[in-house]
Structure 1
Amino acid sequence: MTAQARDGGAAAAATQAGAEARTAVVLADGWRFIQGDPAGAAQPAFDDAAWQPVRVPHTWNRIGYYEPRVGVGPNTAGTVAKYQGVGWYRLRFPSPARASGEKVWLEFDAASRIAEVWVNGVRLGSHAGGFSRFRFDATSALRPGASNIVAVRVDNSAPVAGSATADVLPLSGDFFVRGGLYRPVRLIVTNPLHIDLLDHGGPGVYATTTSISAGTAQVRVRTRLANDTGRVANGAVVARLVDAQGRVAAQARVVFRLPVAQVSEQQQDLAVARPHLWQGTADPYLYRLIVDVVDGRGRVVDTVAQPFGIRQVSIDPQRGFLLNGKVLALHGVGLHQDTETSDWAMSEADIARTFATIRDMGANTIRLTHYQHGETIHTLADRYGLVLWDEIPLVTQWTQGEAINPTTALVGNAQQQLAELIRQNFNHPAVAFWGVANEVDFGPNRPDFLGKPPAAIADPKALVRLLDQQARQDDPSRPTVMAACCQGDPAAPDIVGLTQATAVNRYYGWYYGKPAGIGPYLDGLRAKHPHQPLALSEYGAGGALTYQTDDPAGGPADIAGPRQPEGYQAWVHEQTWPLLRDRPWLFGTWLWNAFDFGSTVRREGDSVDVNTKGLVTYDGTIRKDAFYYYRANWSAAPTVHITGRRYTQRAYPVTDVRVYSNAPRTELALNGRSLGGKTDCPNRVCVWSGVALAAGTNVLTATGQFATGAMADRIEWQLASAQAGAFRIDAGALVAAHAPDAVFGSDAFFSGGTARSVDVFARGRAPVRPEIAGTRNRDLAATFRAGAFSYRIPTGPGAFTVSLTFVEPAEQPGSRIFDVATNGQTLLKGFDIAGAAGGPLTEVTRSFPVTATDGVVTIDFVPVKGEAVVSAITVLPRR
């Protein structure tokens, strides 16, 4: 470690906000870190030579990884770090040069989840809340012209009753609260007469577009002035808007007289002629708002300059979201602030890549969940026109243990974090909503990770109302919103109407029923609350890269286990989006989630401690099929994408090929032979049905014809020779069971019936897996299709052997009787599985010769008493 590096930023770049007015120095290099709580670490003489050298932003946590066979991401079981507790940071740095009377402030963009700060052994203060900016006046603690030491004690301990973090939100959630100084740290030098830096981490300048008319716009600017000069200060505040060409579009000046050690607010109204409005992604035009503080001698002593967009937002229960009085259909994603490569300590480049991926999908809005995100993503959203939903970390839980009311300290922390959220992001035109709560309406049906519900369930309404009133008072120009999990459930508290608008997190096709259920659910909610603006704030499904399905309707997904095929996730989105698009009264829709993210309450898909609902992998490198479905629907950029590219070893010799395309015409070729073209595919999904694959390598090429030229996508599938002409179907299974002596495909080629299993799955509990007698492959036998149903298997002409596997799931002999017919010929008459096997949960097989004269083997299952069932079907050529 060099002396320069240990001094932490002697060579750091400085930025000047105004001539001789304000200087900011980023403190990134030279930090020392230790995990633990050594005594005396705040004192200057403490020996930190053995501590780990780190660069800020930094977090000591690494959460989540994919199984090695996936081949994605840098994390492994060995790199995971889940420590929650105390960590210390220390930095030696030279005191910045400053004139007499100048003030020096220490600024932290975030420290999770509580922090205490000392400079040269002098305690500056503490901050509770892991997501917002905070500052301390370090002037008197610094030694001018000498080396100084800042020491920071950070604690991200889990908030349990009696702990230091017990009253610091979030108390829980489906994400892991990392620790550390995971956003930048700065020194800021100002003159003693300056714009206030101690207003909840805000800029001290707050601008609002108060009106927009045909030829003018009114912008109100409020500036908080602080006088630390030691005498009465006289001067003026000059506020101006500068357009993109550098011309002053509007300017106003107000004089002030400010007593010693006082803070006052100065207000000015700017009239902007022919305003160029901020219009979202269509035209994200930004002015530059510059506020100068001029002292009595005419010198500019402080300056704050920020991008500013002239715009107004509102929501209407019938028309949805309005930007500058015009309807804007919001469609986008939820987003957490982690990436597998750097976890929470994301660099500006990391955030820019994340943001670019979301833009490339065609989203025009982001819900920044479930806490305040940093400055960088807000700035990018301003620049590119994506509308933001900001929210505080009031997530799921707001009391500890059996308490039915939150503590006074917790209420205060919620109010503090809301004030910080609003102040710090007030001037961003991209921010349209203040979110005050997420999923606080579970009632007794709480998530398993919260444990058994107490006898009396806490009522969230009083806390939500308090925060709603605070947000409306602090910023009446933006609507308040909340995300509800459980509206419509009889046991859930009715919280619709507590905020100006309500959104719901509803996972049809995952936690609830079929994807088609989302439409009637939303219609019912609207009928019950016709005057409340409504939105869908979360929807989606898990998608694991290494699990694949031949038919996403073939069986239920494993919502808490491994079988979460990528194709099922894409199918859920295909089914859901048209239902949302056709309900324009929704003020927005946000799918869950843009990226897979770390969450230690999960063990699912092909990952550990990762929520798999992202459309892009945790490390940002692989875009799942569903990503391209939305790109084809949301973006004007030419898109052609063949689905199933990771399902390379195919189970069936005949399959449908799906292509997401927004081309006017799309053509598919197999091994160079055209399979024809399709025009203006509905829902941007082009389907070629019954495509026959050859043994060996099958090259599929989809080509879209656009006005700008052709665009093609190419993938390869392999069909083993043992699969050519063979159909082995795991009935009732979304993902086929592994068989040691043959490859089965998941349930496909069926019509009617329902998919079931003898196994019992429950989220948060181990599955119940009863023994099945007489089987060589228990998992294959465990799933089944039930009811009245048929299979139509495209074998091609020839002679085949049909083998059927049956397991009676629960009934006794004589309780279930059905017929089985093939190509119109009855093969089994009055079949009783339990009678044939001697009881339930015992495998029975039956085989028959069949001739497919028209190239199809049809198998009909016709109930006589109860439902027909079948667990597996094989149709093999007779040699």
Structure 2
Amino acid sequence: MTTQPPTHPARGLSRRAVVAAAGVAGVVALPVWPGAARAAARDTGTAGAPVLDTHPPTEPSGTHVRDVGGTGVVFQYGAVLPSFDGWRTREPTRDYASLDGRWRFRFDPEGTGDRAGWQSPDHDDRDWDHVTVPGTWDLLDTPDFASLDGAAFGKGTAFTDGYAWYRTTVAVPASWRGRHVRVNFLAVGYSAEVWLNGVHLGKHEGANSPFSLPVSEGLRPGTRHTVAVRVFRRASYTDYTAARPQPVTDDHELPYKPVDYWPYAGITRSAWLESVPAVTVAKLLVAGSPAGGGTFQARAVLENHGDTDFVGRLTVDPGRDSGGRPTTEEVRVPARSVGVVPVTLPVPGAPRWSPGSPRLLTARATLTDGSHHRVDTLATTYGVREVSVGDAELRLNGAPLFLKGVNWHEETAVRGRAMTPRDYDAELGPLLDLGANFVRNCVYNRHPYAYDWADRHGVLVMDDIDTMWLNTAQQKLQTERYGLARALALTMAWTQHNHPSVILWCLQNESEIDGGGAPVYRAWLADLKAAVRAVDLTARPVTWASHTSNDPAFDLADVVGFNEYFGYFYGRDTDLGPTLDAVHARYPDKPILITENGTWSIAGTHGPGTTQGTEEWQAAGLRSHWSQAAQRAAFVAGYTYWVLKDYKQRAGYNQAYNGVSVMGVRTFDGQRTKLAYRAFQEAVNPRGEPANP
């Protein structure tokens, strides 16, 4: 971690105020937003070649963690990475201006829009198309996107790559003068550059992680402002319809090459402007533990964007029904600085959170000034629960778990990745019907609603980042120089921290392992593990989805996780049991999690259970692997099926028809279930449902 010395106390503070400032555990100055993190000049390459984006020396958001009085605080674009709850909540001390709705839109195949001034508020965009945000340009005009008929594969906007521009205007109230204003995006795929009134705010990489850009230059409260976003998506192949399509790669991007899920493009999740006080509660990290009869921990991250020191009070309330009482600390945060107020309280009446009883609480931080006037508030939900690992068991509230889980991809045939809450209810609802207690967010972060849904319904979550199929050279690049993998890991752990449903951090999926002791691979994983541990108050277990049961870095994992496809890609179904026994013999104290296993079938295709492609064969494989894992529940922590629903990809990999991989237990349109759905439903959890003590 990088650290900075506390800012010198302001002259004229009373002795009482200086002593009371002990409520702030530490202070650091706001980092200077580095110009080096801005995008480099563009080179669109030779005519006819796929357009590649350009990259600064390090990932463009400047995401990093600093130790502030013993708390790891994540910074991005020169400010604290804030809470993104504004997509659904409205704090009374803050103002919000939604950017969802109709935007102007135009493709930029030559990558020349910035030189033509498309970011300027004076640019005439009246002849541009209209699109809806959130949305994805893949579904603007793509015939038969959801069909298994591949006659139209390669046609339409689903295969339009390179640059595209979005423009809209928004009224900024005069009352926003003197406040800190930021523009928040829950996701833009793959990368985005943002301008406000022609002023470049910054660039972001990573199609599935939220980001927040401070707005200072160019802001004129009391007028309308033009927001322009230039979005980039790298082509997956030079020719999508070629007999042997040639992949397009970029070592800086994550993923760096075509993978077997669809890279939806556009402003795929909500965006909004947010106005907060100059002194604000940027983030409230909380954790509830059953220890000691119930304990509440909080870290209130206070950010002072003003030019004068702030002296006041912070009250933290663990919430109604927690049994805990609010506590108030006197605080001082110097100008242009960040401070952290740590709070630990008994919550003896707090209910425990578990899959069988997903009881949620709401904590709130309230900042007041020296005259006891309310300055800012920030609330967050949390649950009292404890995740631990010991004696080859993964435990929740002290009881051993067996995770009956599925992988899932975030998409619908109608909206792609730009899903609505109703879509999430329909997509995730089958988990409850299946009797699943676990879901893996393969291989990227989800919309905040998905985590809220899991919190409310008691479904345990393993959260992933976009580090899929990395080669050794790229692992080395990410660790030693570019740092995008680390930035995504920090964003994941910081943003999803308070969700009780999230019990595991997953660091990578099926990436290459170098030889000779795997020094590059191990260093990369150690770096990602250190990142999530730097900000997680609860030290959730860390794992990853290895492509092998002989991974040389399993000693670094808290839970041994690997994907296995015995009986499909290699070996026999019955090889799983001996493999699990061998892994347990090597790591007798570590629980083992099967992070993927599955086969495929086309819905409606029936025949013997030994014939590939039939629903019977898919169901038989599931039963066989489940049985071998469940029989070893003493050291196997769970089984995660691949996959909940057929999913879309650009590759022809792994039984894909028109880009639809048919490995799901439900069809891509969600209209039919397969026999494997019933087989999973009937699988009996050897541990039963985790009890709430």
In the superposition, the TM-score normalised over structure 2's length comes to 0.78
More strand by share: 1
What is the deviation of 1:354?
A: 0.9
Determine the C-alpha separation between the residues in 2 that align with 1:593 and 1:157.
Answer: 26
In structure 2, the partner of 1:67 is 148
SS at match of 1:267: strand
Report 1:486-635 matches (<5 A): 486-488=548-550, 494-549=552-607, 551-553=608-610, 555=611, 557=612, 564-584=613-633, 585-602=635-652, 605=655, 607-633=657-683
Aligned to 1:736: none
Alignment of 1:63-142 (within 5 A): 65-68=146-149, 81-142=158-219
Which of 95, 116, 126 is the equivalent residue of 1:49? Answer: 126
Deviation at 1:477, TM superposition (A): 2.2
Aligned pairs for 1:690-701 (under 5 A) are none
**What is the deviation of 1:17?**
3.5
The alignment status of 1:208 with 2:282, answered yes or no, reads no
Aligned residue number for residue 477 of structure 1:
539
Which of the residues 262, 280, 285 maps onto 1:176? 262
Aligned match of 1:345: 418
Distance 1:14 1:588, change over 3 A: closer
Q: Are the equivalent residues in 1 in contact too, given 2:384–2:500 (CA < 8 A)? A: yes
1:155 partnered with 2:232: yes
- Pick aligned residue for 1:285 from 359, 365, 369: 359
* Aligned residue type for 1:106: V
Say whether the 8 Å CA contact 1:422–1:474 is kept in structure 2: yes
Contact 1:175-1:600 within 8 A present in 2 as well: yes
2:495 partner amino acid: Q
Counterpart Cα distance in 2 of 1:463 and 1:605: 32
Larger radius of gyration: 1
Match of 2:329 in 1: 254
Mapped partners of 2:306, 2:314: distance in 1: 17
- For 1:663-742, list aligned pairs within 5 A: none
Q: CA, structure 1 residues 230+132, in 2 after alignment: closer, same or farther (shift >3 Å)?
A: same
2:465 matched to 1:416? Answer: no
Q: Whole-Å Cα distance in 1 between the matches of residues 562 and 579 of structure 2?
A: 10
Matched letter for residue 330 of structure 1? L
Structure 1 residues 120 and 429 mapped into 2: Cα distance closer, same or farther (>3 Å)? same
Q: Is the 8 A contact 2:503 2:540 kept in 1?
A: yes
Structure 1 distance, partners of 2:249, 2:299, is: 36
Q: Is the 8 A contact 1:432 1:479 kept in 2?
A: yes
CA contact (8 A) 1:30 1:92 kept: no
Following the alignment from structure 1 to structure 2, what is the Cα–Cα distance between the partners of residues 77 and 189?
43
CA contact (8 A) 1:170 1:395 kept: yes
Aligned pair 1:193/2:193, yes or no? no
Contact 1:348 1:376 (C-alpha < 8 Å) held by counterparts: yes
Q: Is this contact kept in 2: 1:110–1:184, CA < 8 A?
A: yes
Answer whether contact 1:67 1:607 (CA < 8 A) is retained.
yes
1:321 shift after superposition? 1.9
Equivalent position SS for 1:45 = coil
Cα shift at 1:328: 2.4
Per the alignment, do residues 17 and 397 of structure 1 end up closer, same or farther by CA in structure 2, a change over 3 Å counting? Answer: same
Distance change >3 Å, CA 85–CA 399, structure 1 → 2: farther
TM-score by length of 1: 0.62
Structure 1 position 536, deviation (Å): 0.5
Q: Tell me, yes or no, if the aligned pair for 2:281 and 2:365 is still in contact at 8 Å.
A: no
CA contact 2:404–2:685 (8 Å) conserved in 1: no
Distance 1:165 1:223, change over 3 A: farther
AA at the equivalent of 2:208: F
In the TM superposition, residue 457 of structure 1 has moved relative to its aligned partner by: 9.5
Matching residue's letter, 1:127 = H
- Go from structure 1 to structure 2 and tell me whether the alpha carbon gap of 1:626 and 1:407 turns closer, same or farther (over 3 Å shift): closer
Q: Any unmatched runs of 5+ in structure 1?
A: 1-12, 197-203, 445-454, 558-563, 637-879
Q: Distance in 1 between matches of 2:513 and 2:408?
A: 22
CA distance 1:248–1:119, shift in 2 (3 Å): farther
Partner SS, residue 179 of structure 1 = coil
Relative to its length, the structure with more helix (as a share) is 2
Q: How many residues align?
A: 579
CA distance in 1, matches of 2:654, 2:565: 17
- Structure 1 residues 409 and 143 mapped into 2: Cα distance closer, same or farther (>3 Å)? farther
Query: 1:618 is paired with a residue of what secondary structure?
Result: coil
Q: Offset of 1:169 from its aligned partner?
A: 1.5
> 2:360 is aligned with what amino acid?
L
The gaps in structure 2 that reach 5 residues or longer are: 1-85, 238-247, 687-693
Give the SS at the match of 2:621: helix
1:370 aligns with 2:443: yes
Alpha-carbon distance, 1:413 to partner: 0.7
Residue 465 of structure 1 is aligned with which of 522, 526, 529?
Answer: 526
Tell me the equivalent position of 2:496: 425
Residues 88-127 of structure 1, C-alpha deviations (whole Å, 9 max, x = no match): 1111111145254122211000112221110000111111
Q: Aligned residue for 2:401? A: 328
Distance 1:310 1:404 in 2: 36
Distance 2:591 2:278 in 1: 47
Query: Counterpart of 1:268 in structure 2: which amino acid?
Result: V
Say yes or no: does 1:31 pair with 2:93: no
Displacement, 1:515?
A: 2.0
Structure 1 pair 407/327, CA: closer, same or farther in 2 (3 Å)?
closer
Equivalent residue for 1:406? 477
Higher RCO structure (Cα 8 Å, ≥6 apart): 2
What is the CA-CA distance between 1:618 and the residue it aligns to? 1.4
